[in-house]
Amino acid sequence: MNKYAYRNKLAVVTGVSFGIGKAYAKELAAQACHAILAARSKDKLDAMEREINRQYGVQAYALACDLSNANAPRQLAEQISELGLSVDILINNAGAGTCGRIYV
């Protein structure tokens, strides 16, 4: 893959508070990709935004939202539009799981 494929693109990454979402956001930033960081935890988002902006020299935007809420995707899209941004990439990592027996 071309190491410049993500340069100056804008990605929306959901579920960036920890784990895979956080890793995706940092990897994209390391490849000069700007990012909209979406998760429920505003304080974690703000810290991640500062870290990415400082460490990678790209623009990150922290937009808190709870994507388990049915209206949240529309509200997130409206916030992005209000910022005048155009999204190139979506990493839809937000999710929830349950524990228990799986029956097939």
> For residue 14, is it within any domain?
yes
> For residue 4, is it within any domain?
no
46 Cβ neighbours under 8 A, 6+ residues apart: 62
Q: Is the pLDDT of residue 80 over 70?
A: yes
Residue range(s) defining the domain that contains residue 24 = 10-91
Count the Cβ atoms, other than its own, within 10 Å of residue 84: 6
Q: What is the pTM of this model?
A: 0.86
- The arithmetic mean of pLDDT across residues 80-91, rounded, is 96
Q: Where is average pLDDT lowest: 11-20, 25-34, 78-87, 90-99?
A: 90-99
Average pLDDT, the chain: 91
Domain count, the chain: 1
Q: How confident is the model at residue 79 (pLDDT cuts 50, 70, 90)?
A: very high
> For residue 86, is it within any domain?
yes
